[in-house]
């Protein structure tokens, strides 16, 4: 299979795409990003790496960080984590508060904002935010094999200044006894984790720990690899998760910075980035590119 040619073809057709979607405006620092950018990179299980387009431009990974914090939390708490957060698709937007009232402050899954806040709250308990963010960066850098991965403070500040909705989710869960730290402390840590900046290439390399098998690097257990992939497939794109599974057929996690991490179990970690989003807050061209990639390679978890 000529991976390089596949990526070049996809990049060329994304450059010509008429509708690139809309950048996230609710985080002012992200609103100024040029939507006409596209990058794709694949890191194969055998160690080969192929990249195309703007694959070396840094972007805000936002909700893709939820995959890394979940990996840390599963390592630390194991099955106990599921007492505080569910593992069902929500069918709701990523920042919805609707179900929380019905379900008594237990979020549906770790990838919607409420669920990710609980995960961050859990790993934060008993530690300073600086320590937890340090541990997270160490994990991401080890996974990527690259020390040059950092938090963009301007993005973290921008979200902190406009974080009322996430603060509301946190307070609501605190009211139900499902929060261990002050909402402002957990939200501040969460905004910083979301503000990690990476290139598409770094993200593809970092995702290798989810491929499974000997090349996964042993950062997490094989059982956690399978479970995180299951959650990415069912919940990684919020109320667009079913559509992503139908079109791409591989587990994926999106972020409002326009990145998507896609895992082809046993084969590769794939990252795509284009800042324009669709109506669900998932990258418009990133989704299309992942779909084209899956078609070109024939890779799918469904055979
Ligand atoms: N930091 C963003 C938020 O909490 C992450 C959302 C996302 O990437 N979907 O709103």
- At 215 the pLDDT is 62
User: What is the Cα–Cα distance from 188 to 129, expressed in whole angstroms?
Assistant: 8
Q: Is the CB of 159 under 6 A from ligand 1?
A: yes
95 lines ligand 1 (CB under 6 A): yes
What is the residue-wise DSSP string for 125-139? TTS-HHHHHHHHHHH
- 217 pLDDT above the threshold of 90: no
Using CA atoms of 218, 231, 288, 197 in order, give the dihedral in degrees to the nearest 10.
-60
Q: Give this prediction's pTM.
A: 0.98
Section 93-108 average pLDDT: 94
Evaluate if residue 283 carries a pLDDT over 90: yes
Q: pLDDT digits over 232-280, tens only?
A: 999 999 999 999 999 999 999 999 999 999 999 999 999 999 999 999 9
Average pLDDT over residues 199-218: 90
Residue nearest to atom 2 of ligand 1 (CA): 62
Catalytic residue among 52, 60, 66, 118: 66
> Exposed, middle or buried: residue 49 (CB in 10 Å: 0-12, 13-18, 19+)?
middle
256 annotated active-site: yes
Q: What is the rounded CA–CA span in Å between residue 73 and residue 300?
A: 28
Collapsing DSSP states into helix, strand and coil, what is residue 74?
helix
Q: Mean pLDDT score of the chain, rounded to an integer? A: 96
pLDDT tier at 47 (50, 70, 90 boundaries)?
Answer: very high
Interval between CA 214 and ligand 1 midpoint (Å) = 32
Lowest mean pLDDT among 61-65, 95-99, 107-111, 201-205: 95-99
Domain-wise residue ranges, the chain: 3-63+197-297, 65-194
Model pLDDT, residue 60: 98
pLDDT score, position 140: 98
How far is 150 from 137, CA to CA, in rounded Å?
7
DSSP string, 247-260: HT-S-EEE-TTSEE
Per the annotation, the verdict on 238 as an active-site residue is: yes
Span from the CA of 281 to the centroid of ligand 1 (angstroms): 9
Identify whether the C-beta of residue 46 lies closer than 8 Å to the C-beta of residue 215: yes
* Confidence tier at 178 by pLDDT (50, 70, 90): very high
Ligand 1 contact via 284 beta carbon (within 6 Å): no
Say if 3-63+197-297 and 65-194 have the same CATH topology: yes
Return the CATH fold of 3-63+197-297.
Answer: Beta-lactamase (3.40.710)
- Does the annotation mark 63 as catalytic? yes
Class of domain 65-194 as given by CATH:
alpha beta
**What is the number of other CB atoms lying within 10 angstroms of the CB of residue 180?**
15
Mean pLDDT score, 130-153: 98
Q: 104 catalytic, yes or no?
A: no
Distance 121 CA to ligand 1 centre (A): 16
Q: Cα(190) to centroid of ligand 1, in Å?
A: 9
CB 88 within 8 A of CB 233: no
The pLDDT of residue 145 is 97
Overall average pLDDT of the 190-194 stretch: 98
* Residue 303 binned pLDDT confidence (cut-offs 50, 70, 90): confident
Look at ligand 1, atom 6, and give the residue with the nearest C-alpha: 63
Could you tell me the CA-to-CA distances from 280 to 109, 232, 236, 290 in Å, in that order?
Answer: 17, 15, 11, 16
Q: Does 259 sit in the ligand 1 pocket, CB within 6 Å?
A: no
Burial degree of 248 (CB within 10 A; 0-12, 13-18, 19+):
buried
Query: What is the arithmetic mean of pLDDT over 148-162?
Result: 97
Contacts of 5 (CB under 8 A, 6+ apart): none
Contacts of 265 (CB under 8 A, 6+ apart): 211, 212, 229, 251, 301
- Ligand 1 centre to CA of 191 (Å) is 8
Q: If you average pLDDT over residues 150-157, what whole number do you get?
A: 98
* Residue 62 Cβ < 6 Å to ligand 1: yes
């Amino acid at each position: 299979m000529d991976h390089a040619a596949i990526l070049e073809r996809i990049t060329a057709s994304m450059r010509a795409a008429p509708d690139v979607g809309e950048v996230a405006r609710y985080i002012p620092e992200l609103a100024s990003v040029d939507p006409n950018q596209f990058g794709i990179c694949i890191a194969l299980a055998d160690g080969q790496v192929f990249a195309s387009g703007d694959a070396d431009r840094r972007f805000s990974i936002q909700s893709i960080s939820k995959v890394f914090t979940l990996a840390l939390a599963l390592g630390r708490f194991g099955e106990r984590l599921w007492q505080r957060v569910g593992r069902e698709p929500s069918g709701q937007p990523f920042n919805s508060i609707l179900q929380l009232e019905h379900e008594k402050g237990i979020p549906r899954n770790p990838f919607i904002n409420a669920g990710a806040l609980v995960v961050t709250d859990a790993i934060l308990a008993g530690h300073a935010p600086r320590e937890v963010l340090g541990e997270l960066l160490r994990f991401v850098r080890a996974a990527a094999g690259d020390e040059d991965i950092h938090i963009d403070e301007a993005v973290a500040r921008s979200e902190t200044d406009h974080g009322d909705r996430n603060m509301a989710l946190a307070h609501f869960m605190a009211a139900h006894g499902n929060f261990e730290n002050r909402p402002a402390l957990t939200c501040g840590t969460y905004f910083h984790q979301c503000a990690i900046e990476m290139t598409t290439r770094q993200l593809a390399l970092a995702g290798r720990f989810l491929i499974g098998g000997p090349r996964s690097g042993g950062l997490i257990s094989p059982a956690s690899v399978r479970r995180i992939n299951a959650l990415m497939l069912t919940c990684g794109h919020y109320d667009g998760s079913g559509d992503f599974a139908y079109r791409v057929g591989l587990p994926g996690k999106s972020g409002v910075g326009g990145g998507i991490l896609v895992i082809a179990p046993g084969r590769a970690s794939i990252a795509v980035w284009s800042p324009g989003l669709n109506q669900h807050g998932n990258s418009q061209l990133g989704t299309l590119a992942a779909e084209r990639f899956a078609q070109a390679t024939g890779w799918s978890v469904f055979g």
